[in-house]
Structure 1
Amino acid sequence: MVWRSDFDPVETEIYQKRLTKVTFLVLIVFGVLFVRLWFLQIIHGAAYRAESENNRIDLRDVIPFRGLIFDRNGHLLVDNRPSFILGVIPENISNLDGLLTDLCRLVEIDRGTAKTKIQRALQGNPFRCVYLKKGLTRDELARIEAHILNMPGVTIEVKPQRHCIYGTLAAHLIGYLGEIDREQLGRKEYDKNKLGDFVGKCGIEKKWHRYLNGTRGGQQVEVNASGRILKVLYQKEAEPGANVFLTIDKDLQMLAENSLSNKVGAIVAMDPRSGEILAMASSPTCDPNDFAKGMDKRVWERLVSNPYFPLQNRVISGQYPPGSIFKIVVALAGLEEGVIDPYEKIFCGGSYTFQGREYRDWKEGGHGFVDLHRGLVESCDVYFYKMGQKIGIDTIAKYAKRLGLGRNTGIQVGDEQPGLIPNKAWKLKRWHVPWQDGETLSVAVGQSFALITPIQLVRFVSALFNGGILFRPRVTKRVEGDGNKTIFEFKPDISGYWDLNEENMELVKKALFGVVNEPRGTGWRARLHRIGVAGKTGTAQVIALPKDRESVEEEDIPYKFRDHAWFVAVAPAENATIAVAILVEHSGHGGAVAAPIAKNILAGHFKR
């Protein structure tokens, strides 16, 4: 038997050599991997663990663009501009006091305020960015960027910032933004806001905040230890706010504000046919842009300590004696009650003695014989002293309230004040003393206790020339959402009717036309060529000067004791499209100071 074998020693040797090589290569690969793992885990393990811990997933808000604000003709008044904002993530701060020291050296911030904000966030949501300063300048930005790697927790964000294109234009009407407070957070109109947001604080910005604000979006991001975004993992876009169109005319508003340059006072223009406000100016004023970037404490202190109250909207909250404009009320009350015979002539010799006291006329020597028409045209005090005495304070007050004075007009914005129309019951309640008959004479010429706002007077004179309709003044024309879709469109809103005899109203209207256009009319400085203007002057006493000082020049009287100048007007008188009320504080006589301003406003309106 023959045994046969397939074993080949040569092939076996070759196979073993190959296996040895493969084994060696595998050992090398595993050796390299082992060394690499040892290097990562042992040598740099702590560093990589720290980096891994420092990189985390954050949820960031995407702030919506606030809605724009336009004038009645579509001219843009308020938009948004990109702003660099200094912020900190409290959770990432290792040394708060040291960080604040560094930041205060680089930029101007209030250390105490910044520390309070950060400490509150640490107790609440330490991962939420706390904003310390908006509107960083290029120099401030460069200084922070140069040191940011040495300041853990500091971040720079770019967000939209409110921007009033024309600075102070219509500032009191537009209003301003400020950081939301805890009281506002609990209210419905701020339910889309969080701490740190800037929201409307007054004016249109506050009135329509819910619509202007928009809806915030969000980002899921990976950030490093300094809070810088490494990667956006998910984003929900923010929805911009709705746009608001005002009733004011930009050019007329500019003219009104320029007319009050270096003066203290108010101008308001209204369309008598609808109650739309065409211009609303109050002086002095402020710049809403200062608020949008975060009001500097020193600037704020200067504003609130200013003796001329630049934050006050005098159109709706300035309360002044109406002066001789109130004679219109007395005339209408007397005619309606049958107390005044419009054609009866009364002699004015320059003063009227009542109950042993002399009540002087503004015109030394008097006006001679005057009837109702001349009494209004020349603004004869003696005529209205006598008419006021006949009518009585309670009847005068009843008609004043009925005609819309001494009560709020219902305008959409601001802290409107009601003014004051006194009567016997008011004085007894307020001062615990009875009304004196002589006080009625003072009220009849717009002095003493009576107080009126400019918005009340422009609505009052509008009603006289539109047939007795009291419109609620409006400053918003419409609100538009995405794709120019109308959310609100406002129509004329009638809040009352005078219900007076038309003949009586015509008598007064003709007299007011004469104030501007007839000889000896006190408002002749408001006269326009080819356009019939009707109006009434008013000079409101701040204090009564002794008789021996009545001839003193205005500039020799201390400023705070000088008279206020009033003028109200409508044009064209036969079919009025505009009514104005002008008030200039401590400036003298209405005919000399306020009437020329009214002329400029009316002329500007009709040139458009």
Structure 2
Amino acid sequence: MTLLRKRRIFYILIGFMLMLLIYAVRMVWIQIASANKAISASGMTMNELAVRQREEGIELDPGRGQFLDRHGEPLTGKTVWVPVLFPLKHLPDTSQIHGVADLLGVTAAELEGKWSRLQYPFIWKSPEGQAPLVLAEHEAERWSQVSGFRILPYMQRYLEDKSGKQWLGYVSQRPDYIRSLYGQTNSRGLPLSLQVGASGLERTFDQFLRGVGSTRAAYTVDGQKRPISGLGMRLTTANDRYYPLSVRTTVDRTIQQHLEDLTEQMGIREGAIVVLDAAQGDVVAMVSRPFFNPRQIDLEQGSWSNHAVKAAVPGSIFKTVIAAAALEEGVASPGEKFHCTGHYGKYGLSCWKEGGHGMITLKEAFAQSCNIVFAELGERLTADSIGRTADKLGLGRMVGWQSPSFREGLALRQIDQEEAGVVFAKGVSPDGGTRAQTALGQRDVLVSPLQAANLVVTLLHDGKVAAPRLVQDIYFKNGVRMLELPPQSAPSQYGAISPATARILRGWMKEVVSHGTGQALQNAQWHLAGKSGTAQTVSAGRPANHQWFIGYGPAKQPRYTVAVLVENRSPGAPHQATELFRRVMDLLAARIHEI
């Protein structure tokens, strides 16, 4: 072998060894870098996961944004102190077990049995059920020396176990939804166990509420789940100056709570109350019955559904639409006289007043809620004119606040579950009988309490339809406003009713209280105006009535509009909605003096 050939072989071997060295260095670098950079489905690096494997941790605060009322008072997010058990191979001594058991209100055997079987950290529950047991803050230091047991600050999202705030909604784990977000910006690190909005504002504003990380408490153990001496508790949190965000609603927390208490006092089983700010149509309070527990949702039972935005048979409050249509179309005048005998022979309809009202003007017929007069108006009007007028007044369509870019697919509807309602059912020929029944707010007509309260706002604004808001702005953690959601209108494609018609109807609503079906309201703290309604329906196969009252107050300088619905009352039962409306207005009058 020549010297030249030997040198070539030497250089080839040297080159091969260099390549192996470079490859080895590269693989080491990749493993180190990937351990620091790779993100798992939980949003942690591989190094963080390795540490987590040696810790038994629990989430104390998911870092989700919070809701505030219009005055900045919290609607969600209350810090409470809760007992937490961490899994251990060897439990504390007998005296400590007995002490902790006494604190938790259980026997030592019960505590020991639960603790010895733990695979993961556990927040001790209250005897009532799903909510954590809440202890005093000063207990935290006293029990800090017991291995595997701590009393820690915990973010309790909902302030009440049961409430009528279905508009606020609830959160739940929705892995399918999280997976659907993975293609969006800043969503890859979302863990599948993350709780996200499932209904209400929690759902419609979920994109603003997710935050940037949770606060966790970890108890460091070895591979045998034995506490590592000297390490103890480890708290980790996402320290961000901008997140989580705060969402400020239009709701007055005090009014909301007073109205919820009022429905309890009056024994309201099903129904709703909607209070709107007369100035711009914002939601001041919205109560739905039956109440729901946001911590324990039963989807089949259905109490989480918001009756305030669900469409129901309106009865005589729909006569407001018929009166507006008759005036707008010129088929009747305010002073025109009608004859009510108590029966409308052609369709078997009757008036609520036995024997009828006799000779009566349209103005008086509205105040007295005369069925015969309005059945005749229904026949005089066309189906198109009734439908157009309803649309002009914000009925038969959704009116809640939505983002201006909604039609481009960037939907942001503030009010979840809102139903559009209906005037005439699709496929039905609106003949004279159909129109007569529709004029009484029966047949196929459906209106939500939100729409009903907003109809009154429309009359106060001379025909301009407002778009009720539940949220007015969003703030960064440092208090700087991130986004403003200004008031909007919800105009009809058919235009608006005339200011003259709106003024006439406002005056007729005053007549309802002074001389008509709402005279029981004359002893209220404010002078009030409104319209009553009773709708015939069926509940559980039996005849039932929906009772309504809508209106505004004070009559001279309106501050609020209110819609009250009491559902499924027994036929012939006292008109509970009128009494509820009065007491709601009295509470609002008292609140004005408090602020």
Identity between Structure 1 and Structure 2 (%): 25
How far apart are the structure 2 equivalents of 1:312 and 1:485?
Answer: 34
Q: Which residue does the alignment assign to 1:404?
A: 394
AA of the residue aligned to 1:427: G
**1:597 and 2:580 matched:** yes
Structure 1 residue 222: Cα displacement? 6.6
The two structures, once aligned, show a CA RMSD in angstroms of 3.9
Partner residue, 2:381: 391
Asked whether the 8 Å contact 2:315–2:536 carries over to 1, the reply is yes
1:120-160 alpha-carbon deviations (Å, 9 max, x no partner):
xxxxxxxxx79898765499xxxxx9xx99xxxx9989573
* CA drift at 1:508: 1.6
CA–CA separation in structure 2 for the residues paired with 1:373 and 1:138: 59
**CA apart distance, 1:514:** 0.4
Identify which of 350, 369, 372 aligns with 1:379.
Answer: 369
- Which of 273, 286, 309 in structure 2 is aligned with 1:267? 273
Amino acid at match of 1:567: F
Question: What does residue 607 of structure 1 align with?
Answer: 590
| Map 1:90-489 → 2, pairs under 5 A | 106-107=113-114, 137=133, 160-187=154-181, 188=184, 193-216=190-213, 223-225=221-223, 226=225, 231=231, 237-239=238-240, 240-261=243-264, 262-263=267-268, 264-288=270-294, 291=295, 295=296, 300=297, 303-306=298-301, 309-317=302-310, 319-354=311-346, 357-411=347-401, 412-422=414-424, 426-428=426-428, 434-489=429-484
Contact 2:220–2:234 under 8 Å retained in 1 = yes
Summarize deviations over 1:500-535 as a string: whole Å, max 9, x none.
2222222221111100122xx101223355733110
How do 1:496-575 residues align onto structure 2 when only pairs under 5 Å count? 496=491, 499-518=496-515, 521-527=516-522, 531-542=526-537, 560-575=542-557
What's the CA shift for 1:199? 2.6
Give SS of 1:69's match.
strand
Q: 1:234 deviation in Å?
A: 11
CA distance in structure 1 between the aligned counterparts of 2:385 and 2:226, rounded to whole angstroms? 72
Q: Is the 8 A contact 2:276 2:453 kept in 1?
A: yes
1:65–1:214 CA contact under 8 A, matched in 2: yes
Structure 1: distance between partners of 2:390 and 2:355:
31
Query: Residues 183 and 228 from structure 1, CA distance in 2 versus in 1: closer, same or farther, beyond 3 angstroms?
Result: farther
CA pair 590-389 structure 1, distance change in 2 beyond 3 A: farther
Amino acid paired to 1:455: L
Alpha carbons 2:463, 2:499 under 8 Å: kept: no
Q: Are the counterparts in 1 of residues 340 and 357 from structure 2 also a CA contact under 8 Å? A: yes
Shift of 1:334: 1.2
Matched residue count: 480
Equivalent residue for 2:64? 66
Gaps of 5+ in 1: 1-52, 90-101, 119-128, 140-144, 429-433, 544-556
- Shift in alpha-carbon separation, 1:107–1:304, aligned structure 2, 3 A: farther
Distance in 1 between residues matched to 2:525 and 2:153, nearest whole Å: 53
Q: For the Cα contact (< 8 Å) 1:88–1:155, is it kept in 2?
A: no
Change (3 A) 1:443 1:214: same
Please point out which of 77, 83, 90 is paired with 1:79: 77
- Secondary structure in 1 matching 2:537: coil
> Structure 1 stretch 479-488 or stretch 168-177: which is displaced more?
168-177
**CA 1:576 to 1:253, structure 2 compared with 1: closer, same or farther past 3 Å?**
same
- Between Structure 1 and Structure 2, the one with more helix by share is 1
Which amino acid counterpart does residue 158 of structure 2 have in structure 1? C
Superposition deviation, residue 246 in structure 1 = 1.8
- Name the TM-score, length of structure 2 as normaliser: 0.71
Asked if 2 retains the 8 angstrom alpha-carbon contact of 1:571 and 1:579, the reply is: yes
Query: Which whole-Å deviations, capped at 9, do the CAs of 1:455-496 have from their partners, x for residues lacking one?
Result: 111111110112222111111132221221111233211121
Match of 1:586 among 560, 568, 579: 568
Q: Deviations over 1:530-570 (max 9, x none)?
A: 73311000001015xxxxxxxxxxxxx99942211000011
In structure 2, do the counterparts of structure 1 residues 466 and 138 end up closer, same or farther at CA, with 3 Å as the change threshold? closer
TM-aligned CA distance change 1:525 to 1:105, over 3 Å: farther
**Partners of 1:86 and 1:136 within 8 A in 2:** no
* 2:164–2:292 contact (8 Å) kept in structure 1: no
Segment drifting more, 493-502 vs 409-418: 493-502
Deviations along 1:189-209, one digit per CA (max 9) or x if unpaired, are 965531222232222223333
Structure 2 CA distance for partners of 1:393 and 1:218, relative to 1, 3 Å: closer
Q: Residues 72-120 of structure 1: CA distance to partner in whole angstroms, max 9, x if unpaired?
A: 123333224354567889xxxxxxxxxxxx9999459xx9xx9xxx9xx
Larger Rg: 1
CA, structure 1 residues 130+416, in 2 after alignment: closer, same or farther (shift >3 Å)?
Answer: farther
> Contact 2:525–2:589 (CA<8 Å) still a contact in 1?
no
Cα–Cα, structure 1 residues 217 and 506, in superposed 2: closer, same or farther, change >3 Å? closer
